[in-house]
Structure 1
């Protein structure tokens, strides 16, 4: 265990391509489940508008984070800038929102992993959750270089499953299928039908195609050249996710109808079953390889929360021992403690509830980080910026507006998740008020 006053992570292990892969890995599980529920509350065109709006929000956020993380690289990610421009309280609020997202999301994903394993081999439950937490935290404890290389392999497998699915479904694609929605009577099906409320209701599901890509800057201290690698990595990841999200939201409902895909639990596999007349070898292959998508996000988000907790502890927002690093420069307590908390949350078995709680934390953090960017541009104009986001403050204002709209839709869709998320955030605020920021 390191006894340094200012513990440091291992430097120079991640170039821009590995950072881009990390960004895709954070998100890729959302391609395998979750996004399709948007078609249960909206028409195809309404869902495409929702995907477009959330794509704009995330792309704007990514551009702002690219500029901020290149100028002030830190394992703290975007919240370091929030602290700089909004003080300790603003920094803690941003970090707390991100922590809610990153600590709860793995619990949701491991529940979905259990569901996949149950469908394949009939195994599920707490022992499965515990095994995955123990195994993948163990890989992280070996070292960051080894962890990121493992993440690269499982991400490639996940992308392969998506490509195979989309190519196989192209022959079944029909524009007429896109118009067949559960939201309209059979005699009133039109391709461009939508209403504003259904778009608003679909926003949380559209987010699943991009959720957590903002975690790339959490690897800032381990990047080879943060000033160039961070912008290139996070923007490359976002471009890939935009293309991936568009193709998924067009080809899969176009092969099976928009109304039907909204009721699937595993949309890629179920769409293949539909297209090939029952269970097929191809669907079984995608089902098995699709586990890689869930594992990739589970694995990479564990990486993200550990770096966030490490930074919060090092800067005095959490107990000091949580920033201790091992001889391999790995923040072991920052990996283990949130893992224990996540495992306890997974015992509920409520995967969708967990992910909805995480989404609320995410949208709140986007609003705070967008505001941080605006204040940084306004109050620190002389700060050296290796990269400048196109549009500057206008890009941030668009991101801020869309993130607030998305946050309201989360509260409207799942009130239970909203109450739980608010309660957890309230506990964090009470901790901060009672304990204060620990002395550096």
Structure 2
């Protein structure tokens, strides 16, 4: 017992130890990554990572569940995202590093919680990239069929669970995005900005066309499944709001992170929410909620039904092909930057933090791209989207808690943005996250439980022993002994 007690004590101490904010900020200030992103590229990064995921892909799955009230599902999901976005904005301005919610948790709640948060972020980013890539394949098929009358064979455009061999288009778009990211942060930002503008124009075109066919009869009954349907729909479409935090992963590549990161996060969420609500409202009003169900390229089908012509559907499908590819690019970017921070802390292998000649994490990007491409090729869309939502909501909940903790432990820490109405804002954000998590399906909880158990195994077998905080704390004790 005399031997076991110190070991238990050391383990508990290791789990609860925090990484000083000053140390995290210093690492971010001395990053090897290239600082090349201003406010507009950061907004484009967040909008590009968000806009399109839910509207182009998930709307067709959520609309039959909530009915016309799917519009309120988007509003509820947006509110949950908004309160969490305000917490993100405060922490991004105070701790501007690549790790996003992972780094914020490390500074406020300790290494163990930070690891769980980082593990959730890996699920959030990696699985969402795969889910979006699967949806991209559906629009690619729609575009090829509309433009030249050709379709990719079902065997090569569907996962084994959907009766195919593999989803080849989904795998290809992930690998192409990885290659673009290896080219450099500035080059990737140019691609992201151009594709984001194109995406906005395509959705504005969709709204302008479908509003002419709006029929109020399609809005009744408004909420056939009641509050449960709206909440369930919100849990599903919350997946489509995850990208707004992508700007927070660019903390070490932003030219003025304290000023620009909070602005980019809040502005991008406002743009995305407005577009989602407009598109959902006009789509349901034009054809009805049930007509949107079961179609991966649901917006193209709406355009075809509304206009009776093929070219508007072709234009939308082409825009979706380009736009959704930008989501793959920007979310894949976010995952690699979270891994940079986790690797720099010693919790995952050092190769994920190595920076190549173009000052980007080359090996990290290629490995992540390969793993996510395989996931996109063999796992169906619905399972991917819900698994993403639970990882996202857990990470967002921790960010809301982190704001409260940091306000108490570091009240004098310089903050370029402060969440309003403290502590009400993060408490509401936390409550909404819990509400949406409760609306997810049992199989999603099971998948998340398995993912968490795997993560705990990795942490206790690898991370806790190799944490850089071990060396730092030993150095602190040695200096204290010498003095």
Is this a same-fold pair by TM over 0.5? yes
How far off its partner does 1:193 sit? 6.0
Say what the alpha-carbon RMSD is for the aligned residues: 1.9
Alignment deviations for residues 373-419 of structure 1 (CA, whole Å, 9 cap, x no partner): 11112222111111111122211011101111111212x2xx33332
Query: Distance in 1 between the 2:62 and 2:170 partners?
Result: 27
Asked whether the equivalents of residues 32 and 290 of structure 1 are also in contact (C-alpha less than 8 Å), the reply is yes
Aligned residue number for residue 186 of structure 1: none
Residue 159 of structure 1: CA displacement? 1.5
Q: Which residue of 2 aligns with 1:270?
A: 301
Name the CA shift for 1:416/1:159 in 2 (closer, same or farther; >3 Å): same
| 1-structure distance, mates of 2:312, 2:72 | 31
- Specify the alignment match of 2:372 in structure 1: 342
Higher mean C-alpha deviation, range 8-17 or range 385-394: 8-17
Match runs of 1:7-26 below 5 Å = 8-26=31-49
Contact 1:35–1:207 (CA under 8 A) maintained in structure 2 = no
Residue equivalent to 2:17: none
Structure 2 counterparts to residues 98-113 of structure 1, below 5 A: 98-113=121-136
Listed as ranges, the matches of 1:371-386 within 5 Å are: 371-386=401-416
Residues 382 and 97 (structure 1 numbering): CA distance in 2 closer, same or farther, change over 3 Å? Answer: same
Structure-to-structure mapping, 1:355-374, within 5 angstroms: 355-374=385-404
Query: Residues 13-412 of structure 1: matches in 2 within 5 Å?
Result: 13-30=36-53, 31-45=55-69, 47-119=70-142, 120=144, 121-123=150-152, 124=157, 125-179=166-220, 189=221, 191=222, 195-277=226-308, 279-410=309-440, 412=441
Name the CA distance, whole Å, in 1 between partners of 2:198 and 2:313: 15
Structure 1 residue 435: deviation in Å?
Answer: 1.6
> Which secondary structure does the structure 1 equivalent of 2:313 belong to?
helix
User: Helix, strand or coil for the counterpart of 2:57?
Assistant: coil
Aligned-residue offset at 1:127: 4.3
TM-score, normalization by structure 1: 0.91
Q: Which moved more, 1:318-327 or 1:126-135?
A: 126-135
Secondary structure of 2:296 counterpart: coil
Q: In structure 2, list runs of 5 or more residues that go unmatched.
A: 1-26, 145-149, 158-165, 469-483
Maintained 8 Å contact 1:377/1:393: no
More deviation, 343-352/310-319: 343-352
Segments of structure 1 that go 5 or more residues without pairing to the other structure are 180-188
The structure-2 alpha-carbon separation of the partners of 1:210 and 1:240, relative to structure 1 and needing over 3 Å to count, comes to same
CA contact (8 A) 2:47 2:244 kept: yes
Is the CA contact (8 Å cut-off) linking 1:158 and 1:291 kept in structure 2?
no
For these two proteins, the number of residue pairs brought into alignment is 421
Q: Are the counterparts in 2 of residues 32 and 293 from structure 1 also a CA contact under 8 Å?
A: no
Whose radius of gyration is greater, 1 or 2?
Answer: 2
The TM-score normalised by the length of structure 2 is: 0.83
Give CA deviations for 1:199-240 in whole Å, capped at 9, x if unaligned: 222122331442221221000111110111101111110110
